[in-house]
Structure 1
Amino acid sequence: MASRIEHMDLGHSSFHFAFRDEWNDDHFLKFHAHQGLELLFIHEGQGLVEVEGASYELEGGVLFCFQPYQLHRVEIPSRKDAKYVRSNLTFDPRYLEPYLAPYPKLQSFLHLLAKGALPTPKFAFAESRMCGLMEGHAGAIREAGEDQEEAHILFVIALLRLLQLSVITHAELPPEGWSVKKTGHIEAIMDWIEEHFRQPFSLEQLAGELHLSSYYVSHLFKQYTGVSITDYVTARRIREACVLLGSSDKSVGQIAREVGRLSAPYFCKLFKKHKNMTPLDYRSALHHSAK
């Protein structure tokens, strides 16, 4: 099966949902990355999932969360009378952002899934509650006619809320009871990073432009996200590099300069540390058949 980035533009094409897709007997293999956030619900099946060098058992009743541009491999060996049944939701997180503005905690939860430092991509979920929600949406889409955008948005919001309450444990979420002021500071920090990550990073510059102390910015960010601000900047640069490796023919040196004015050797070292493969191996995995 070909490995490739699946680009998803804003609009209807930024949303894909399949409920209880089923494979029988045949060997199933997917090895890819894509622009969207993917939530993969396993109803039945046995196999293996590999995410950036780590392996996880695939089994019924588990959810896998694959972040944008996170290379992952899903393999179900061929077995007589065996079934692989899954539901898959893939969407561009930007598609949902405008609708979550009134709900800062849910918005923070989406940021955690799409950009945060999740300790694992694998979680257990309650089959009956989750399937009821997904089945209801699948039925609504069949009857909704051509204009499905509203149904998609309401479904994803409800699904995120259910995941927030009962699937992703509270220990993995930002602390409860955060003030609007602190949450606003976090959002301002992330917005600043989004605008400046292609330049050499300066904590002092970030703090100065936001009229905060460097210590406060560093401490607040680590407390909220669980990772240091420099690690977050590095992860953002690696994510951007993955986009360029999959969607352009730019050299590794060009990409290194574009994502942070880095030297090619240093960039390759960082990339391999985060992805467990070199930039060229990653590009090859996206554009050639999985082996």
Structure 2
Amino acid sequence: MMQEAQLAPIRRMLFIEAAKQPGRFSMEGEHFHDAWEIYYLVSGERCYFIKDQIYRICAGDLVLIPVNVLHKTSPSGKLSQPHERLLVNFRTEAVSTLLPGREEELEQLFERYPVLRLNAEEQHLVQPLLARMLAEQKEQANGYEEYGRLLLAELLLNLLRMAHTRPNHDGEEGGGKRPYREIAEVARYINTHFEENLSLGELAGRFHLSPYYLSHVFPRVTGLTLVAYINRVRIEEACALLRETELPVTDIAYRVGYQSVTHFGRVFKKAKALSPQSYRREQRMFSGGHMALKS
């Protein structure tokens, strides 16, 4: 049974894979990475849940996922066809020396453009770069790691150029139909009202849904139970407050919506494998090495 989102650690500086999946394939749960992710849909259609938005993507679309952002793909409908995709995960240091001074631009690219809908010319540029990166990783010829990073840098530079010609959020939200529209609205509300006393009954009533429907459909769309999603949003806000303020842990617990400091501590430690106090100390130890594009 799905309870908490799971960190899917990326153990390489750069990793790329290709996969073909049946139309009804759905990620078992929502997860996040400690690295950046580029997802390119070669064929088929998918629904992509990213933080609190749902996008319907099709062949030629490229999805950009920042570090530690929750995401999940699912079928686009009952008659979904098989799909093929290319996936790249990379850490900051893979390109930091190749693209000096571009950290802020790249961070903004991933934040502002969860989906880039590529035209035919752009697809003919991007897909061969991804294919070449995949081939280098498979063949492992002399210098393949360095060449892979060069190809990644070329890809990112081209994506920055493409973004200059587009408004923010190039991809249209794909939640126009039930249940995607409803769940996206609930998720957005949680992200902006996490400090409130949220409950299944209150949220169901606010959005005119039955509690049974909401409790069953929310994890089907997002990969997380409603409670797990609320906890995830609250804990990420608590992390920001621990890093960026001097507020006592007790104040932070109440500020992010927990009525019990003890309960907050248990949920935080389960999510981060550290107590709030230890997390704050660890973050301050490494704060001198902070970069805008975090690895």
TM-score by length of 2: 0.54
Contact map agreement 1:48 1:74 (CA 8 A) in 2: yes
Contact map agreement 2:16 2:133 (CA 8 A) in 1: no
Structure 2 SS opposite 1:98: coil
Identity of aligned residues (%): 14
Distance 1:77 1:62, change over 3 A: closer
> What is residue 224 of structure 1 aligned with on the other side?
none
Of 14, 20, 23 in structure 2, the residue corresponding to residue 22 of structure 1 is 20
> What is residue 49 of structure 1 aligned with on the other side?
48
Distance 1:27 1:286, change over 3 A: farther
Alpha-carbon deviations, 1:117-148, whole Å to 9, x = none? 41x41111232221122222323333333653
> What is residue 245 of structure 2 aligned with on the other side?
260
* Letter paired with 1:45: G
Contact map agreement 2:45 2:80 (CA 8 A) in 1: no
What is the CA–CA distance in structure 2 between the aligned matches of 1:254 and 1:89, rounded to whole Å?
27
Deviates more, 1:261-270 or 1:60-69: 261-270
* Letter paired with 1:111: E
Contact map agreement 2:109 2:163 (CA 8 A) in 1: no
> What is residue 153 of structure 1 aligned with on the other side?
149
Of 134, 139, 153 in structure 1, the residue corresponding to residue 130 of structure 2 is 134
Q: CA deviation at 1:16?
A: 1.2
Distance 1:271 1:34, change over 3 A: farther
What is the CA–CA distance in structure 2 between the aligned matches of 1:113 and 1:271, rounded to whole Å?
31
What is the CA–CA distance in structure 2 between the aligned matches of 1:43 and 1:282, rounded to whole Å?
38
**Aligned 1:83-98 pairs, distance under 5 A:** 83-98=82-97
Contact map agreement 2:34 2:67 (CA 8 A) in 1: yes
Q: CA deviation at 1:280?
A: 8.2
For structure 1, the 5+ residue unaligned runs are 173-241, 247-251, 273-277
> What is residue 75 of structure 1 aligned with on the other side?
74
**Aligned 1:101-116 pairs, distance under 5 A:** 101=100, 104=101, 106-113=102-109
Distance 1:77 1:259, change over 3 A: same
Contact map agreement 1:39 1:66 (CA 8 A) in 2: yes
What is the CA–CA distance in structure 2 between the aligned matches of 1:279 and 1:168, rounded to whole Å?
43
**Aligned 1:93-242 pairs, distance under 5 A:** 93-101=92-100, 104=101, 106-113=102-109, 117-118=111-112, 120-125=113-118, 126-145=122-141, 147-167=143-163, 169=165
For structure 2, the 5+ residue unaligned runs are 169-231, 259-263, 274-295
What is the CA–CA distance in structure 1 between the aligned matches of 2:70 and 2:82, rounded to whole Å?
25
* Letter paired with 1:129: L
Contact map agreement 1:38 1:91 (CA 8 A) in 2: yes
Distance 1:5 1:62, change over 3 A: same
> What is residue 278 of structure 2 aligned with on the other side?
none
* Number of residue equivalences: 197
Q: CA deviation at 1:46?
A: 2.4
> What is residue 281 of structure 2 aligned with on the other side?
none
What is the CA–CA distance in structure 2 between the aligned matches of 1:163 and 1:127, rounded to whole Å?
11
What is the CA–CA distance in structure 1 between the aligned matches of 2:99 and 2:158, rounded to whole Å?
15
RMSD value, Cα? 4.0
Distance 1:270 1:149, change over 3 A: farther
Distance 1:18 1:135, change over 3 A: same
TM-score by length of 1: 0.54
Distance 1:260 1:7, change over 3 A: farther
What is the CA–CA distance in structure 2 between the aligned matches of 1:139 and 1:169, rounded to whole Å?
30
Contact map agreement 2:98 2:150 (CA 8 A) in 1: no
> What is residue 195 of structure 2 aligned with on the other side?
none
